[in-house]
Amino acid sequence: MNRVRAIVCCASLVVALSPLAAFADTSPSHAADEVANGQAQLIQAQQQVSDMQANAQLSAANERMIGVLQSEAMRQLQLNNVANGNALEQIAAALANAARANGDLNARNELAIAQIKAAALVATADANLANAQQLAQNKGRFDELANAQAQSALLHQVADFLTSTQAEMNMANAKQIGQEQADAIHTPAIAQQQNSEAMGANELLAADTALNASALNATSVMVASDTVEADTLAHAEASLINAEAMLADATAADNTQ
């Protein structure tokens, strides 16, 4: 019994250590089948490569289109930002001009008011002086005449002050108020316009970046596809070459027998 077990173990060991090639089918017909299979695999690989190329080209075209759409959207946003900034600045400029014009009008009104006040003072002074002169001539009231003359001189000086120094101060103040109102309206709009232009420049840069990125993505897709396609074809071609070599060996071996 022990001897049988030893024989079985030895036989099993011999089989396990025997080269697998000893059990492989090396007949020409089997090798021809392998060649046919390799040819079929090559055709299938070529079709797969064709499909991968089509898919890669479609993916690359999609990447480019996405980049173009993103770029166009950003460029349109840039145009809108700049246009809005310019429009707001133009409106603010018109309002600022109106504020300055209103300041100039107020300045002219100040001058007119001063002239009216001065004219009233001068008229009153002249009327009082004429009345005092009449009383002095008719009734000898020369003290009233002197008082009227002094008042007339003072009122003329006040009238001159109103139409010169005071009027100039009021006019300058009215113009300054108009200018300050104009600056308060226009300055923020100018800053907004400049900010819109800066944002527009950023949008243009982002648009160019998106376009360049899409081109890079499209190139990456094609490169990756080319690598996979090359590996697929190389594997199929290598299998066919190996099968053809096996057929040649099998044929030569069969001829020598």
Indicate the pTM of the whole model. 0.56
CA distances from residue 82 to 15, 74, 182, 205 in whole angstroms, order as listed: 86, 12, 22, 15
Rounded Cα gap, residues 201 and 68, in angstroms: 18
pLDDT digits (tens, 9 = 90+) for 72-120: 888 888 888 888 888 989 999 999 999 999 999 999 999 999 999 999 9
pLDDT category of residue 244 using cuts at 50, 70 and 90: confident
pLDDT tens-place string over residues 18-42: 333 334 556 777 777 777 787 878 7
pLDDT band at 137 (very low <50, low <70, confident <90, very high): confident
Say what the pLDDT of residue 174 is.
93
Residue 218 is predicted with a pLDDT of 83
Q: Are 70 and 212 in contact (CB under 8 A)?
A: no
* Block residue for tokens 């008011």: 113
pLDDT digits (tens, 9 = 90+) for 36-75: 787 878 788 788 888 888 888 888 888 888 888 888 888 8
| Contact between 64 and 221 (Cβ < 8 Å) | no
- How would DSSP label each residue in 164-193? IIIHHHHHHHHHHHHHHHHHHHHHHHHHHH
- Mean pLDDT over 236-248 rounds to 78
